[in-house]
């Protein structure tokens, strides 16, 4: 789970609370890459650089610890290593506002 994924999910959910959003992340704990250099000087703890799930959970964004292994763009389905199949939309941005 990257920082852009998180900010995109939060922004979309705020624009349209009815949207169903899922984030699939490989790792239980993901780091904010931008803060990695600061770990050596000012932060001193990897735990302080972990991307929090809390804002996502508060907005009812689903989080799956898994790995996407394929994306079927024609049928709009992603498949994961744990056998999950999730449909997705590729609609234009304006749809998010309606
Ligand atoms: C050392 C460093 C310092 C940086 N400093 C800055 C800065 O000061 N300012 C700035 O604007 N940017 C900075 N950046 C860049 C910034 O971190 C990235 O632009 C940003 O993290 C991109 O976010 P993202 O969500 O697109 O992807 P990422 O942060 O790359 O996250 C992608 C996530 O997706 C997961 N993933 C990948 N493939 C799969 C899969 N098949 N299934 C499931 N999960 C998968 C990965 O495990 C990862 O957690 C820095 C980057 C680094 C490395």
> From the CA of 82, how far away is ligand 1's center (Å)?
23
- Residue-wise pLDDT for 11-67, tens only, equals 999 999 999 999 999 999 999 999 998 888 888 888 889 999 999 999 999 999 999
Distance 22 CA to ligand 1 centre (A): 18
The closest alpha carbon to 33, from 6, 15, 55, belongs to: 6
**What per-residue confidence (pLDDT) applies to 85?**
96
> What is 3-97's CATH number?
3.50.50.60
Beta carbons of 61 and 22 less than 8 angstroms apart: yes
List, as one string, the DSSP characters of 37-94.
GGGGTTT--GGGGBPPSHHHHHTT-EEEE--EEEEETTTTEEEETTS-EEE-----GG
- Whole-number pLDDT of residue 75: 92
Domain ranges of the chain: 3-97
Confidence of residue 79 (pLDDT cuts 50, 70, 90): very high
Shortest-distance atom of ligand 1 to CA 37:
1
Q: Is the CB of 1 under 6 A from ligand 1?
A: yes
């Amino acid at each position: 789970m990257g920082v852009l994924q998180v900010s995109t999910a939060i922004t979309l959910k705020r624009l349209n609370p009815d949207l169903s959003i899922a984030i699939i992340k490989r790792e239980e704990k993901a780091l904010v890459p931008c803060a990695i250099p600061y770990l050596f000087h000012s932060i001193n703890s990897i735990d302080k650089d972990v991307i929090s799930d809390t804002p996502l959970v508060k907005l009812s964004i689903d989080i799956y610890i898994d790995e996407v292994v394929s994306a079927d763009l024609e049928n709009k389905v992603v498949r994961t290593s744990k056998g999950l199949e999730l449909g997705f939309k590729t609609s234009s941005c304006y749809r998010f506002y309606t």
